[in-house]
Structure 1
Amino acid sequence: MPKGEVTAARALGLPAFQTFLDITLPIALRIAITGTTTTAITQFRSSSFMIVVGYQELTYVANRIVSDTFKVFETFGIACLMYLLVCSILSALSRTFERRLAVPGLGVVK
C-alpha cells in the first residue's frame, strides 16, 4: 500500500474509517484476489477441503469406478474435465473480481 494514497486522503480531510473504506480496502482486495484464487484452486486440486465439506474425493470415486468397470481412460478423463471445469470457473470469478476492483495505476487487468 503506497503511503502517498493514505497521506492524500488525510490531506483531503477524510476520517480514518472513510480512508480505509474508500482507499485502503479496494487496493488491498485487489491485491489479495490473486493469492486467494491460487489458494482456492490448489485446495480444490488436492481435494482436502472437499472431504471436510462432506463430498467424497473425486479421485477416490474415480478409482472406485475404475475398479468396477475397468474403464481407466474414460473415468479419469471425466474426472480431469471436472477438475478443469471447477478451476476454470474459479479463475473466471477471480478475473471478474479483479476487473471490478481495478485501481488505475496499480497494474493492468486483462
Structure 2
Amino acid sequence: MDLSLLALSPPGWGGVLLAGLFSSLQLAVGGYLLGLVIGVGGASGKLYGGPIVRDLLEVYTTLVRAIPELVLILLLYYAGTDLVNQLMHLLGLPSMDISGLATGIFVIGVVQGAYSTEVLRGAIKAIPAGEIEAARAYGMSPFLTLRRVTLPAMLPYAVPGLSNLWLIATKDTALLAVVGFSELTLVTRQAAGSTKHYMTFFLAAGALYLAVTLVSNVIIGMIEKRARRGMVREA
C-alpha cells in the first residue's frame, strides 16, 4: 500500500478525495434537509389532510419505498431534468442547464422525504393526545400548534429514526456516481483507475465514510440527549 498516493498535493490524490467528500456532504445535507421539509408536510398531510391528500401521499411513500433507490435516482435524475426542460419549452422559455448538485439534492430529498414522512407520522402519533387537545383548547391555530407543541413534543420519538435516515443519506450520495456526479465514490474510482492502487483508495474512501459516521453519531447523541431532557425515564 503506497500511502504517498494519499498526499494532499499532486501527485497525491488526497486533496481530490477530500473535495469529493465535501461534495458528498453537500449532497447529503441538502437532500436530508429537503427530505425533512417534505416529511413534515407529508406527515401533517397524512394525519390531518383530506382523503385525496392522504391517498396521494400514500401513493408517494409506497412507490418510493418500493422501488430500489438506484432506479429512483436514475429515473428522477434524467426524467426529472427532461420534464423541467419540457415545461420550460411549453412556457416559451429557454431550456435550463440544471446543475448536478441541485439535481442530486432534489433526488435524495425526494427519496428521503418518503421515509421522513413515515418516521415523523409515527412520532406525531406517539405524542399524548392530551397535549394536542390542550393546545386547541387554548385557541392555538393549527400552524401554531404544530410549531409550539407538535414539533417539540415529537422530537424525542423522531430523533432515532431521523438519525438513521441521515446516515442513509450520506451513503446514498455514492449512488450518484452512476450519473457522473463527482462525489467521493466517483473520484475514488477515478483515482484507483488512474493509479491501479484499488485497495489503497477504496480503503481510504471507506475510512472517510466511517469518520463521517462516527462524527455523526456523536452529534446525534448530543441532539438526542437534549431532546429527551425533562422526560421521565421508565424504570
TM-score over 0.5 (shorter chain): yes
1:48/1:98 CA distance change after superposition, 3 Å: same
Asked if the contact 2:174/2:184 (under 8 Å) is kept, the reply is: no
* Aligned partner (choices 50, 59, 63) of residue 189 of structure 2: 63
Extract unaligned runs of 5+ from structure 2. Answer: 1-126
Query: Residue 5 of structure 2 aligns with which residue?
Result: none
Rounded to whole Å, the distance in 2 between the matches of 1:46 and 1:29 is 24
Rounded to whole Å, the distance in 2 between the matches of 1:107 and 1:56 is 47
Query: Residue 220 of structure 2 aligns with which residue?
Result: 94
Asked if the contact 2:174/2:186 (under 8 Å) is kept, the reply is: no
Rounded to whole Å, the distance in 2 between the matches of 1:61 and 1:44 is 16
Normalising by structure 2, what TM-score?
A: 0.36
Percent same amino acid at aligned positions? 22
* Aligned partner (choices 82, 85, 88) of residue 211 of structure 2: 85
AA matched with 1:104: M
AA matched with 2:192: V
1:20-35 pair list within 5 angstroms = 21=148, 24-35=150-161
- Over residues 5-34 of structure 1, what are the superposed CA-to-partner deviations in whole Å (9 max), with x where a residue is unaligned? 556x67xx966458x63x543331111212
Shift of 1:48: 5.8
How many residues align structurally? Answer: 101
- Aligned-CA RMSD value: 3.0
Extract unaligned runs of 5+ from structure 1. Answer: none
Shift of 1:105: 2.9
Rounded to whole Å, the distance in 2 between the matches of 1:70 and 1:48 is 20
1:98/1:85 CA distance change after superposition, 3 Å: same
1:47 match: secondary structure: helix
